Chain A
Amino acid sequence: MFHFFTQTLGRLHPLLVHLPIGILILAILFYFLSRRERFHSLQPAVSVSLLIGFFTALLSVITGYGLSLGGDYAASAVVKHQWAGIVTVILTGATWYLHHKKHTLELGGWVAMLTGLVLTGHWGGSLTHGEGYLAGMFSPASDSDKVYTPKPIPDIEEAVVYTDIIQPILEARCYSCHSSTKQKGKLRLDQPEFILKGGEEGKVLSPGNPEQSSLIERLFLQDKDEDHMPPIEKPQPGPQELALLHWWVKTGGSFTMKVKEGQKDEKVIPALAFLKEGKAGPDKMEESWLPIKNPSSADPKLIQSLIAKGWAIVALAQGMNHLSANAIGVDSLDKQSWDLLEKLAPQLVELRLGQCAVGDADMAQVAKLKNLHRLFLENTKVTDKGLALLQPLEHIRYLNLSRTQVTPAGIKTLKPFKELRYLYLYREGVNGKLWLENAGSIPLSAIDTGGYKVPTLASDTIELTEPIKN
């Protein structure tokens, strides 16, 4: 019997509850309408509907109790809903009585009943649909996964590092557990003095050396590390946020310093650049060479036809529309290929022609691919002439010219390439110095002129038969 009660009757509850709600609302409607002259005829319906409402409500309570015994729901969570339900039933009964007796308190009864109904319904709803089910409609993101969205700081150099940059990050990433509301580990980060004070494990900030500041250290721990912050379940700060925090502590963790006063490293520069435009920045530092804007997605047909010609065309990542094109599997680079590529110019950020049969003539075509950031020409017939044709490619950041016909003199034409950072020039027999002299004025972070040797040592060819005595 018990089992029947919990399992069978109980499982009717979700169905039954809707009856009293509907019916009683109706009863209320009837009641207020019936007080108008026009709807006076509704008068009798009031008490009937109220009574039916009462019994269905009663039935709901009974079945509801059965369900709660079924064990699916945390008893604690059920309590409120359960009692509200019972009270509502009583109120309904009372209201009917008052109505029947035309008692003066009748109106109060109606109101009380309505409130009971609403509360019971709400708590019931939360049980099945989870907390904040309704609230969700109004505030989409709950504070736990608050998104970090910096405001643009046009005059970044003048900004105060702590107040304008660091505090917003801390607010987004740490306040939910370390502020006035909560102090996990007895730590608050919402006021300079609290930050300096530290938590139960002592100081969290050691000005000047991030490595000794657990505030920073714990951000950089491996994701799955016990002490990693924020807890892996929470949204994680992006690399540029880390860079900023790191930089702030490195430069002394001052609460007043301005950006221009701090000495900047190569990691923080792009981060500040993003901030200037109010961008959260990419989620991986190494992508930062990419144009921030995700181009509109390319026409699949174009890509299909290129693939059919042996081209390898692939997006740089899922959900990104930037494309990379590789000709390694292409038998012959014909006019049609170039036309198709030109149509992909907006998306095409990487072009690989290494080892392929391309020469100066083709460079004119390449020059049309305005959005190229990385260009691979290694081991092709390209000469200085061809290189000169590439001027229009203002975004070029990576250029591989190793084992081409390009000469040291030729790379002078690279000067206008403002964003060029990586340059590969190795050519057999050409002295590395020559390259460097000519590349001198280009602001490169990596240049390689190759020509490495691995000398054959005497020992390389000797095969030991016994330990070396010494």
Chain B
Amino acid sequence: MPLARKPLILLLLVVLVTGMSCLLTRSRKVDFNADIRPIFNKKCISCHGGVKQKGGFSVLFREEALANTESGKPAIIPGKPDESELIRRLTIDDPEERMPYKHDALANEEIKLLRRWIQQGAEWGTHWAYLPVEKQRLPAVEDKWIRNDIDAYILHRLHQEHLNPSAEADKATLLRRASLDLTGLPPSEAIANAFLSDNSPAAYDKLLDQLLASPAYGEKWASLWLDLARYADTRGYEADRGRTIWRYRDWVIKAFNEDKSYDRFLLEQFAGDLLPNAGEAEYIATAFHRNTLTNDEGGTENEEFRTAAVIDRVNTSWSAVLGTSFNCVQCHAHPYDPFRHEDYYKFLAFFNNTRDEDTESEYPLWRHYNSADSQRLEKVVKWVRENESEKRAAELRHFLNTWQPAINSLQCDEYVDAALVSSWHAGLRNNGTCRLPNVPLEGATELLFRYGTMRPGGKWTVTLDSLKGPVVASYILPNSKGQWNLGRLKIPAIPGRHHLYFHYYHPGINNKEETGVLFEWFRFTDPFPGKGKPGYEENLASFIALMEAKVETTPVMVENPPSLFRRSFVFERGNWLVPANEVEPDVPSVLNPLPNGRKDRLGLAEWLIDKKNPLTSRTLVNRVWEQLFGTGLAETLEDLGSQGLPPSHPELLDHLAYTLMNDHQWSLKRFLKTLMSSATYRQSSIVLEEGLRRDPLNRFYARGPRIRLSAEQLRDQALAASGLLSSKMYGPSVMPYQPEGIWLSPYNGDKWVMSEGEDQYRRSLYTYWKRTAPYPSMVTFDAGSREVCLPRRIRTNTPLQALTTLNDSAWVVMARSLAANMSKKGGASVRDQLKWGYEHLMFRKLDKAREEALQILYNEALQRFRREPKAGREILGIKETNGKEQPELAALTVVANALLNLDEWLTKN
């Protein structure tokens, strides 16, 4: 045959093949985040990252990785895998040289990836969580199962996984699920009946609205936030003494109930005190960052624990709001994420300029006046405004509300025959002296001070710049009878800053050890203005009365005045004693910049809630999702960074984050309603063979959530169902029944005093929370100690939980009450009573098998209590026998106790 045509055919073939292959394979660019970063983080970064840079090589930032190493040449040469030391070291045989040193070699696949990546220019990528939240394109899936956008994303993924969604759960299940999720309680009878009897398609929608409107909603969602805010009723550390800060808890509840938008919610908590004409509410909000531990331990360095508190504010802000573990940056650059050592201290600087100094009284405190006094305060302020100036009026209002600014006596030094008594207050013995350093007198003419002494007639002399210096004030201290007194002294106007020296003399004190006087704080100011003006006397009197009024207080944030500005430094290796360079407040450069250049807490707050902030919305969305579905879209709520688990549905996460900010305007209620209206949420939680095999952990949501209830939900649910729950809201924390010997704090005489009446049966978030010894049954069900921010509760399942719900007297009491209702409302026959009890709890019919089991238990119990009436009385908690025994009720109690232990009761189906 003629061969001339053959080549043509072959050429054709070539063109054909290559053409096809074009369509087949789109360009295979290596994705740094998906392909390379995981290898680095797992195999390299522990020696070549933020912590260590062995051989002068680090793969954290591109510029570092391409820079010259100790060997003098770079380890990565973009475009040239064969000349890159990195590849050589990964492939070489000699164990001394081969990396990872003394660890398993990298897999061929991994090495190939690295080669190709270098070949393609060794580009770095920003981790997904640090990229701005963009509007998402909805996946193109059509299905009648879909109810809203969420379902589109979920279904799309399900198809990829060859899974099918489950059918909608039955109404009863939905009712209980929704109610527990929104209010943390079973639905009220009214709501339940309304929903179950309403068969219109709108019924579920109505249900959600009703639940969202209930005040119980705020109480349920507050407990989530209180974990993050590390809210507790004690101060922590050894002594762990009490703290009055419950008004903050109430503020959170109210905020949720009035659906305060999340951005405003954050703004007030981070910088309420800095908002224009901030009032009581805004200040209470700032208690968010006063939930830090304070240490009353004798001999502790107050500055150390002030620093610790500030550091905790940084860490909490990141875990709670930004869902990132920032702690490691405290000592070194972040081992995995692009945060540098100094970033931490720049961020810390935002918090470092507040008045709190680990004082024993936890200053600064907001002074809560009763209504009469508040009116009085308004009058005084008004009078000053009219007779003096707006500025002075504002200043006096601030002082009466917070006693700030004042200088704490723990700033004193150079003690001679004097000391900082138990690290709290400057105290002087007879002829003792000390110094109050570097005081901004700035021409002040009045000295306000708070002191305490048992000895009348002690003479306190204040001299300028040295003990021999000119006398600023000399004063015979009246006896305060062991109380704190407020003193007022005229002082000569002295410009500038000076050291003030104190001397105390008391002719009557011979014991060298006796402390004659304690000082708490000093305020250098001017006398009450407007002398001679009409109403002066009366307003001065009000002013003094208000200033001295005994009032309840709440720790709040107050910024330092310029005269007391505190500078911030980088701490070498996190050691606060080794300050390095001074830093300005600022945010990490990988994230969005400060929106309006304002470099204080208010600026920070505005940065947090800036729609450009990639983390705030994602973190919240992820958290709320976890509350409803049991796991976050990114499972590691505490860390969206590169060490956290990648989200199962990245697009959905971003979609929700975007809509939360833009469509829902940060409204949590509206957001929740969208989530809970989705078909995804409404699925039945029955686990199908298929689903279990392909997706045991339900990360793809082919079925509804099925999770054990939280400690609070469990107790509240049981209280509600047994008819004991008190609807009382707010107020000081309460002490329900707790076994003996739980509180174990040395140097602290506090006791657990069981509350009276309905306070025993308040919702769990009102239970007194002692950090070193939290309410045991709560801890057993995975609540934290609230010492630091708890970004995620890990759900557990232990025998101790069984023992609690079976035997804890608190639970036995609930069983009794439930049993009483069963016999009262259930009807005459035991059968009906059992039915009523079960259905009252589960909102579903009692089936044969279950009924039989309960019946057997009932009979067994009844026989026993007929045999032994005493046992029956004990179960019912009846001491004296009043003639008639109630073995039936006792038996019902045993059944009720069992009902309160059923898995379907402890679990949200």
* Residues of A participating in the B interface, judged by any CB pair closer than 8 Å: 3-4, 7-9, 11-12, 16, 44, 47-48, 51-52, 55-56, 59, 70-76, 130, 224, 231-233
Contacts and interface: CB of A to CB of B under 8 A. Distances in A.
A76 B83 CA distance: 11
Contacts of A11: 21, 25
A7 B115 CA distance: 13
Nearest to A44: B1
A18 to B, nearest CB: 13
B119 interface: yes
Contact of A51 (B3, B28, B87): B3
Interface in B1-58: 1, 3, 6-7, 10, 14, 17-18, 21-22, 25, 27-28
A44 B2 CA distance: 11
B27 A71 contact: no
B144 interface: no
21 contacts: A4-B22, A7-B27, A11-B21, A11-B25, A12-B17, A12-B18, A16-B17, A44-B1, A48-B6, A56-B10, A70-B116, A71-B82, A71-B116, A71-B118, A71-B119, A72-B112, A73-B115, A74-B82, A130-B108, A232-B102, A233-B95
Ranked 5 nearest A-B pairs via Cβ: A71-B119, A55-B10, A71-B81, A233-B95, A231-B95
A269 B115 CA distance: 54
B120 to A, nearest CB: 8
Contact of B28 (A7, A44, A73, A231): A7
Contacts of A72: 112, 115-116
Given A7-B25, A9-B18, A224 B116 contact: no
B22 A8 contact: yes
B858 to A, nearest CB: 28
Given A4-B22, A9-B18, 11 more contacts: A8-B27, A12-B17, A12-B18, A12-B21, A16-B17, A48-B6, A72-B112, A72-B116, A74-B91, A76-B82, A233-B95
Contacts of B115: 71-73
Contacts of B22: 4, 8
A210 to B, nearest CB: 25
Contacts of A75: 82
Contacts of A3: 27
Interface string B74-110: 0000000110000100010001100000100000100
Contacts of A231: 95-96
B21 A8 contact: yes
A52 B6 CA distance: 8
**SS class of chain B's interface: helix, strand, loop or mixed?**
helix
B25 A8 contact: yes
Contacts of A51: 3, 6
Contacts of A47: 3
A55 B21 contact: no
A418 B478 CA distance: 93
Contact of B18 (A8, A71, A130, A232): A8
Nearest to A233: B95
A76 B118 CA distance: 17
Interface string B571-611: 00000000000000000000000000000000000000000
Interface string B140-155: 0000000000000000
A71 B112 CA distance: 8
B216 to A, nearest CB: 46
A414 B701 CA distance: 67
B102 A224 contact: yes
Nearest to B7: A55
Most A CB contacts (10 A, CB to CB) among B14, B28, B119 go to: B14
Contacts, number: 57
A8 B18 CA distance: 8
A377 to B, nearest CB: 31
**SS class of chain A's interface: helix, strand, loop or mixed?**
helix
Interface residues of B, number: 26
Nearest to A12: B21
B28 to A, nearest CB: 6
Most B CB contacts (10 A, CB to CB) among A7, A16, A48 go to: A7
A48 B28 CA distance: 37
Contacts of A224: 102
B106 to A, nearest CB: 14
B203 to A, nearest CB: 50
Contacts of A44: 1
Contacts of B102: 224, 232
A72 B115 CA distance: 6
A55 B28 CA distance: 28
A232 B100 CA distance: 13
Interface in B635-677: none
Nearest to B104: A233
Contacts of A232: 95, 102
B21 A9 contact: yes
A115 to B, nearest CB: 25
Contacts of B118: 71
Contacts of B108: 130
A52 B116 contact: no
Contacts of B28: 7
Contacts of B119: 70-71
A56 B82 CA distance: 29
A38 B22 CA distance: 46
Contacts of B82: 71, 74-76
Contacts of A52: 6, 10
Nearest to B87: A74
B493 to A, nearest CB: 53
A76 B28 CA distance: 24
A71 B14 CA distance: 24
Most B CB contacts (10 A, CB to CB) among A9, A44, A72, A232 go to: A72
A328 B852 CA distance: 36
Contacts of B17: 12, 16
A316 B3 CA distance: 76
Contacts of B1: 44, 48
Contacts of A16: 17
Contacts of B10: 52, 55-56, 59
Contacts of A71: 81-82, 115-116, 118-119
Contacts of A7: 25, 27-28
Nearest to A3: B27
Nearest to B17: A12
A76 B82 CA distance: 9
Interface in B107-130: 108, 112, 115-116, 118-119
Nearest to B98: A233
Given A70-B119, A72-B115, A224-B102, A59 B95 contact: no
Contacts of B21: 8-9, 11-12
A314 B95 CA distance: 38
Contacts of B96: 231
Nearest to A5: B18
Nearest to B88: A74
A239 to B, nearest CB: 22
A125 B27 CA distance: 26
Nearest to A128: B108
B121 to A, nearest CB: 11
Most A CB contacts (10 A, CB to CB) among B6, B17, B21, B91 go to: B21
B18 to A, nearest CB: 6
A293 to B, nearest CB: 33
Nearest to B10: A55
Contacts of A8: 18, 21-22, 25, 27
Contacts of B116: 70-72
